[in-house]
Amino acid sequence: MQKLENYALGKWTPGLGDGQVLYNAITGEAISTASSQGLNFAEMMNYARTKGGAALRKMTFQERGRMLKALAMHLAEKKEVFYQLSYATGATRVDSWIDIEGGIGNLFAYASLRRQFPDLPYYVDGDMAKMSKGGSFIGHHICVPKQGVAIHINAFNFPVWGMLEKIAVNLFAGVPAIVKPATVTCFLTELVAKEIIASNILPEGSLQLIFGSANGILEHVISQDVVTFTGSAHTGKMLKSHPRLVQESVPFNLEADSLNAMVLGLDVKPGTVEFDLFIKEATKEITIKAGQKCTAVRRLIVPENSLEAVQLGLGKRLDGITVGDPQKEGVRMGSLAGQTQLKEVREKIQQLSRAQKMIYGNLDSKVAGLEKGAFMSPVVFLNERPFENTDCHHVEAFGPVCTIMPYKTTDDAITLTQMGLGSLVCSITTADDDLATQFVVGAANMHGRILVLNAECAKESTGHGSPMPMLVHGGPGRAGGGEEMGGKRGVMHYLQRTAIQGSPTTLTKITKQYQYGAKQTLSDVHPFRKYFEELQIGDTLITEKHLVTLEDIENFADLSGDRFYAHMDEKSLEGTIFTGRVAHGYFILSRAAGLFVDPPKGPVLLNYGLDECRFIKPVYPGATIGVRFTCKEKVDQEQKTPEDIPKGIVKWLVDVYDETGESVAIATILTMVKKR
């Protein structure tokens, strides 16, 4: 029998001893064993910090982003191999699509996030804080990668997505990882991990894997490490209170299974588009991954006058679901991940049966010829008194199991969702935006995510159960109180934010971004004549001056069509801040461009956009304006093809000032600049 190999200290190594036997969830046949016995967790942690971490921290966010993109493309080419083994976890093709391509999609998503980060190994956070009257002393914040290791303890239900969605974030942040997938399905994780390591895309030491028990690894954490856990709330809370984590103040992100709810709005009647959407979405959330999703629906909260219609509609839809071997045509729901999971779900169903009635399904379903497989039918309960019989708000059967319950008012629906004591997600199906607003605002405190589903968004909606990489995935209370992914928020979990103080010139040097008031470098060479590599932060052009006239205002009004009264009607200015006809803000910006732009063809390829713009002081006819034009920040761009022009993005500070020397407008513009 195959023995899975751990990846530790730069090499694949099988654990000692017999290990835990892993089974094909469809056939019940033993397929491999997993053991972590003999691994030295202390050495693995040190290896990650000193080898992988050191290499990642030298890379910029742009380089790390391109690394993730390369890895995503490599895994996408190998995905069919992953699909074939994924069937052994009990998953259908659709289930595996969520797991495999959803995980690869996370890599792509975090690769694209590089556009929001500087071309530096660290991140400059927020805006400069002026801390002195004269402006010679300022403050800022930088975020540097933690010099530790991310320990990911993952659940069995998504052996690919669970690994990839987490390492995408920590690798982009510049922190190495040790991944411990749940043992029951880790044979699929191993297959994907072997492709990752074989690709040589990641720096050595940035990823290690444990297939088997990781008991004892938390004894070796230090304050620079980060621990994430996905699984049961009970186990998560036990790990979170580990003495070593408390002693070292180690960040711990807990994402626990929760009693998620779907609500049918009071406005939705049987026979409407929204009613059909609700039934379709509920069926999907009960049966996808055989209900083994942390975001799967456990409670269906419906208006009391639609209770019977929902039961009939859901029952009819579930009747069309064929349970069986996911490799066979027509099968819509596979098995649970194994016999252990099947036993646990049946025990929870027995608990729920004490206070509510099973109206669909049974506990004795079998698939002919696959009697050893971990199959079960969908199970639906009816709880007619959900405020009194509360087991459905506390007991979770982690399988294709949910409870229908009635409500009278939207406030009642909100209360019922909150009785789950914290959920990853809930959804409401409604065509009434006022009702949606009432529900979302009322229920948000107990939910990490809320989907509002209606006919307008249904075609492109990713659904109740699909967390997205650029949005927070997590929830309060029972759901763990953590936040995974979430775009920049997820990355910040692995960075140390530090306040820095000093002169604008010093902080410009540290942040690699020009800070207002810092020393500027003047040159006889116009900055638009310099290639990307030649430009330095602080390079400044002091332009010629322009006398603003009433004719400028008239001409710009004719050209733009902007005839706002403050520009055109001197008689209408009483009660305003203006003392006369004022120049258009966009004229000032346009005329500033005329002052700083160098017209002949050169390294500047195009104007890339405008990041920010503020009009600070009114400009009246007779004023004289000039521009202090300063190189503020540089962001390298990848060369996508050999034919692609080598280039980068340059951010420029446009400081427009008048004859008093005071700024009248401040803007940041972007240009695309050719490399030499």
DSSP letter for each residue of 553-580: HHHHHHHH----HHHH-GGG-TTSS-SS
**DSSP assignment of 135-151, as one string?**
SSSEEEEEEEE-SS-EE
Active site residue 248: no
pLDDT 10s digits, 359-383: 999 888 788 889 999 999 999 999 9
The reported pLDDT for the residue numbered 615 is 97
Q: Residue 49 above 90 pLDDT?
A: yes
- Cα distances (angstroms) measured from residue 590 to each of 393, 549, 672: 61, 15, 19
In angstroms, the Cα distances linking 381 to 299, 378, 405, 553 are 9, 10, 9, 72
Query: 526 exposed, middle or buried (CB, 10 Å; 0-12, 13-18, 19+)?
Result: middle
Q: Which residue has the tokens 């069509």?
A: 561
Per-residue pLDDT reduced to its tens digit, 586-607: 999 999 999 999 999 999 999 9
The residue behind tokens 């029952």 is 315
Q: Residue 669 above 90 pLDDT? A: yes
From 143, 294, 402, 631, active-site residue: 294
1 has a pLDDT exceeding 80: no
Angle, to 10 degrees, between the axis of helix 585-596 and the axis of helix 550-560?
A: 100
Predicted TM-score (pTM) of this structure: 0.93
Q: Please tell me the least confidently modeled range out of 104-113, 158-167, 234-243.
A: 234-243
Q: How far apart are CA 293 and CA 130, in angstroms?
A: 48
Q: How far does Cα 446 stand from its chain's mean position?
A: 20
pLDDT band per the 50, 70, 90 thresholds, residue 70: very high
What is the DSSP annotation of 207-263? EEE--S--TTGGGG--TT-EEEEEE-HHHHHHHHT-HHHHHHT--EEEEE---EEEE
229 falls in which pLDDT band (50, 70, 90)?
very high
Q: Which residue has the tokens 């921290």?
A: 57
Please name every residue paired with 301 in a beta bridge, in sequence order, or none if there are none. Answer: 263, 405
Residue 476 pLDDT exceeds 80: yes
Q: Is 505 left (phi over 0), alpha (psi -120 to 50) or beta?
A: alpha
C-alpha 445 chain-centroid distance? 20
Supply the pLDDT for residue 366: 82
Tally Cβ neighbours within 10 Å of residue 93. Answer: 14
Catalytic residue among 5, 101, 165, 255: 255
Residues near 500 by beta carbon (within 8 Å), at least 6 away in sequence:
139, 140, 141, 142, 507, 510, 511
Taking only the tens place, the pLDDT of each residue in 11-21 is: 999 999 999 99
Task: Give the distance, in angstroms, between the CA of residue 216 and the centroid of all CA atoms in the same chain.
Answer: 30
Residue 181: C-alpha distances to residues 210, 211, 212, 585, 674 (Å): 7, 7, 8, 57, 45
pLDDT on residue 661: 95
Catalytic: 402?
Answer: no
CA 524/CA 529 separation, integer angstroms: 10
**Ordered domains of the chain (ranges, CATH):** 2-251 (3.40.605.10), 260-467 (3.40.309.10), 520-674 (3.10.129.10)
Give the span between the Cα atoms of 65 and 44, in whole angstroms: 25
pLDDT score of 65 more than 80: yes
What mean pLDDT is reported for the chain? Answer: 95
What is the spatial distance between Cα 350 and Cα 343, in angstroms, rounded to a whole number? 11
